Chains A and B, each alone.
Chain A
């Protein structure tokens, strides 16, 4: 992987009045990668993108593009282009004029404009649409025009703000693959904003998960899924079972034991966890197991409530004594306990993720009076 940093966001904060939209954002985008800013609405991902594009100024901090600080530079002075969520096609211009717009402003010779526009329209499979107007195009076609209009400028970085948000599911899936293919083919750096975790997982080289203006975790889709560093990341990406508890035994060579409301569980030993600390454990449904006998190191039990058949897998809900539910998945055809039967949930100590629970209210309260 190319390690050249093409966009460097360092210590960026953004306030709208008293509203802290982005806080201490640090993000290095590598040349040629497909990086996704993922988060629910209002998490600051679009604001971050707009600060890179130049539509918003950071309240503090610095953004560098290709090593040069861009503070005070207007959007038209930055070699980045944006694909807008609403496409933002110019309604009074033909498709050709839309795509040629930036080239004409840049005073590219007429003959070159004609070739570059027709090449890019061919690339996005819109040959023959040159003389139509945006209103005559379908959503997917408008989307392609918006992408072509930005790509024809040969930007250093292409910024995409939820570009597939307005398309129906089937078209969206198809466009995801096309966009990914296009990005590989052209080798242009993509910074992509979405709230759809599945979309992020499908397309990205790396994902930056944002939550309440904070970058929670940056990593490959696999890292994000397998080793979430915060409870938010664990719950936002895919399905998971969350257990909250307190470390009641630490043996760094063998295991860590965690006391939950409904019993004790065991996780693999790891550095950085102290006795008495509040922790969150995330276990994916496909990693959670159930036994008909109690297992060593686990004292959880529950009652099988029901099954949901989802084609190739069966999802099963188990109710714990405190009426919380946990869910596990099995392949269809596996032998399963019957509804109403008592089972003992457990997992291989390596199959779960242990997360510091710093936002636990009790922990914060205890910390404030120096009890922990």
Chain B
């Protein structure tokens, strides 16, 4: 069937609208729900616009949820920091040096990525139990760092693919020692890869449910708290917290994107 030019334009517009609806409608529902003035389960009937759920987040009535959220943020930040440092060093080291067993290490990096999360969760739990490590913040951070490292390595490695080692030689040649060269040249040039890896690690850590479920002990974390509470309908306080997270994410993305646009880096 042939369409006129106008017809094609209309058809394309409809496709676009449908795709974007599919992507953003669920998010819109979450945000809308956070403003719902309803008090009764399952919180699905619209009772008018209100900011009361946002207020309750901060007035102490949702202390358990807020505590879980705090734990999640702390775990995410710590494991992001650790996995970014370790992952970057792994990527740079594997790029620069040749050593025995490099191919094996390379292959093993993919294991945490492809292994079913439930297997990883069980194995970590067994390991911690055997080693008699009390389950809690520590085991959560170790577990999250472990599964985040490969993602950092892959991102930094992608950046290294287009990396010209002679910029490091040029830095040494101009009088900088190896440490100065690493901080002045290697890290800034790899920064986009390191940053992408860190963001991915942060995201993975925040919304991890399965592995956290096995290793959290008595420590409450946000995703598990949400899982618990939805048994009796999603309370709008969860919507409100999600909306706040969403807002921060959007702000962050806008900031980094405009930064990328305004600076002329060689890509």
What chain A residues lie within 8 Å of B188 (beta carbons)? 92
- B177 and A76 contacting across the interface, CB-CB below 8 Å: yes
A interface with B by C-beta (< 8 Å): 53-55, 74-76, 80-82, 84-86, 88-92, 101-102, 105-106, 132-136, 149-150, 153
Chain A residues with CB under 8 Å of B189's CB are 90-92
B172 within 8 A of A: yes
CA distance A132 to B185 in the complex (A): 18
| CB of B265, distance to nearest CB on chain A (Å) | 6
In the complex, number of A-B residue pairs with CB atoms less than 8 Å apart: 76
Q: In the assembled complex, how far is the CB of residue A124 from the closest CB belonging to chain B, in whole angstroms?
A: 16
Q: Which of B169, B184, B265 contacts A84 (CB 8 A)?
A: B169
Distance to closest chain A CB from B83 (angstroms):
24
User: Which residues of the other chain, A, contact B266 by a CB distance below 8 angstroms?
Assistant: 91, 133-135
Verify B166–A75 contact, CB threshold 8 A: no
Residue among B164, B175, B180, B263 with the highest chain A CB neighbour number at 10 A: B175
Note all chain B residues with C-beta closer than 8 A to A53.
173
Residues of the A chain whose Cβ atoms lie less than 8 Å from the Cβ of B173: 53, 75-76, 80-82, 150
CB distance from B125 to the nearest CB of A (A): 43
**Interface on chain B toward A: helix, strand, loop, or mixed SS?**
helix
* B170 interface residue per 8 A CB criterion: yes
- B residues in contact with A74, CB < 8 Å: 172, 177
Residues of B with C-beta under 8 A to A80: 173
A193 to chain B, nearest CB (A): 14
**B residues neighboring A (CB under 8 Å):** 164, 166-167, 169-177, 180, 184-185, 188-189, 191, 263-267
Cα–Cα, bound, A106→B175 (Å)? 7
Contacts of A81 in B (CB 8 A): 173-174
B170 to chain A, nearest CB (A): 4
User: Are B169 and A149 in touch, CB under 8 angstroms?
Assistant: no
Query: Residue of A at shortest CB range from B167?
Result: A88
Q: Report the nearest A residue to B191, measured CB to CB.
A: A92
B174: nearest chain-A partner, CB-CB:
A102
Closest to A136 in B: B264
Residue from the list B167, B177, B180, B263 in contact with A90, Cβ < 8 A:
B167
Contact (Cβ within 8 A) A102 B175: yes
Instruction: Say how far B101's CB is from chain A's closest CB, in angstroms.
Output: 20
- Whether B167 and A149, one on each chain, are in contact in the complex, defined by CB atoms closer than 8 angstroms, is no
The 3 closest A-B CB pairs, nearest first, are A102-B174, A135-B266, A88-B166
Q: Is the CB of A105 within 8 A of B174?
A: yes
- B170, B176, B177, B265: which contacts A92 (Cβ < 8 A)? B265
Q: Is B265 within 8 A of A105, CB to CB? A: no
Give Cα A84–Cα B173 distance, bound, in whole angstroms: 10
State in angstroms the CA–CA spacing of A80 and B171 once bound together. Answer: 13
A102 to chain B: closest residue by CB: B174
Distance of A133 Cα from B189 Cα, bound (Å): 13
Complexed CA–CA distance, A134 and B170 (Å): 15
- In the assembled complex, the Cα of A177 lies from the Cα of B70 at a distance in Å of 66
User: With contacts A82-B169, A88-B164 known, is A76 near B175, CB below 8 A?
Assistant: yes
